[in-house]
Amino acid sequence: MIQQGDIFFVNQYNDQSKAPESKRPFIVLSNKFMNNYYNRVLCVPLTSNSRFNKYKTTFEIPENLSKLPIKSYALILDSIFLDVNLLTDRISTLPQSIIDSLVNIWIKYVISSNATSIKSTDYSFEINDSLVYDCKYPKEENINYEFKEIRSEDNYHDIIKKSILKYICSFLNSKGGRILYGITDKRIIKGIELSSEQKDNIRQLIFSKIYDIKPKVIADDFIIEFIPVIKNNQTHNNLFVIEISIPAAFDKTIIYLSNDNKLYVRYDGTSQELDIIEMQTIVKKRLIDSLNNK
C-alpha cells in the first residue's frame, strides 16, 4: 500500500519513443484517501543538485532520512501526478514532520495565488548572485569546481561546444559540481560579453549536449545561470559568468558516457578520460560497493 511520505525510484519515459530515459526518486505527497482510491497520486521529484536549495520552493532532505546515498532536495514546485503502477521500487518513508513541511510549502506556493507568479520550469526568480571583475572567485578548482576562461577574441560557442560534454560527464561520474565559463585557471573573474540572444543560444547548446549523454539524464536537474559581473563599480548588462550546475547521480552503479562513448571522471581539479582497462576497474568497483551497501 502506498503511503504519504513514501520515496520511490521511478523510471521516466521519453514521450515520443516511450523508452525509459532515466530513473529518479519521487516522494508521495498525496494523502491516504487519494492513495487508496485513485490510480494517480501526487508526487514530488527529488534532485541531488544542491544549487536548487536556495529556492524557497525546495526542501532539503538528509540521506539518513531518505535512505538515498546522498543528500537530496525536494522540488515542490515541480510536483506531478504519477500512475500508481510506476510506484513499485520503494526506498523509504519520511517521518511525519518532514511530510508536514512539504505539504505546507506545497499549499503556500503551488495551490495559493503565489504560484501564479512563478513558472514551474523557471528557477531564476530568486537569483541575486553577482561577481566582481578582476577579483578572485572564492572557491578553488577541485573535484567540484571547473573554471574555463573565454577571452574576447575567442569563439565562446565553439569552446563550450567542444568542452561541455567532457566536464558534465566527469561530474556526473563523480560527486556532481559546477562549471564556470568566464573565470581563469587562477580564479580571476573576467566574464563573457553576451546579448540576450546569445544567452538563449548557449542554453540551447548546453541542453542539446545534455541530451547526448548515455544513458539519458534528466535535463531539469541541471541549472544554467548567467551571473552578472560588476565592473568599475557597476553591473554591466552584457557581462556574465556562465555557471552550469551538475547533480550527483543517485545510482552509483551507473556510469555516464559522452556521445562518442568516452568515459570521463573527475580527479582533483581536472576531468580525465579513462581507457578501457580503467573503465572496467571503475565499473567493477561500483558494483562491489553497491553490493556491500545492501
DSSP alpha helices (H): ranges in 89-243? 96-109, 156-172, 196-210
C-alpha cell at 101: 513541511
Q: What is the pLDDT of residue 125?
A: 31
| Weakest mean pLDDT among 34-43, 107-116, 119-128, 165-174 | 119-128
| Weakest mean pLDDT among 67-71, 255-259, 277-281 | 277-281
Residue 82's contacts (CB-CB under 8 Å, 6 or more residues apart) are 10, 26, 40, 41, 43
Per-residue three-class SS string for 149-190: CCCCCCCHHHHHHHHHHHHHHHHHCCCCEEEEECECCCCEEC
Tens-digit pLDDT profile for residues 61-75: 999 999 998 899 999
C-alpha cell at 117: 507568479
Rounded to 5°, angle at Cα 261 from 255 and 264: 55
| Weakest mean pLDDT among 2-16, 24-38, 259-273 | 2-16
- H or E element: which one contains 65? helix 63-66
Kindly report whether the peptide bond that precedes residue 215 is cis, defined as omega within 30 degrees of 0: yes
Which neighbouring-strand residues pair with 263? 257
Residues 270-292 as b or e (16 or more Cβ within 10 Å = b):
ebeebeeeebeeeeeebeeeeee
Strand 177-181 and strand 131-132: the pairing is unpaired
| Mean pLDDT for the chain overall | 84
CATH number listed for the domain at residues 6-117: 2.30.30.110
Indicate the domain borders of the chain: 6-117, 131-292
Question: Which amino acid is present at 284?
Answer: K
Strand 234-246 and strand 192-193: the pairing is antiparallel
Which CATH fold topology does 131-292 show?
A: 3.30.950
Q: Is the pLDDT of residue 13 over 60?
A: no
- pTM listed for this prediction: 0.74
Question: How many other CB atoms are there within 10 angstroms of residue 31's CB atom?
Answer: 14
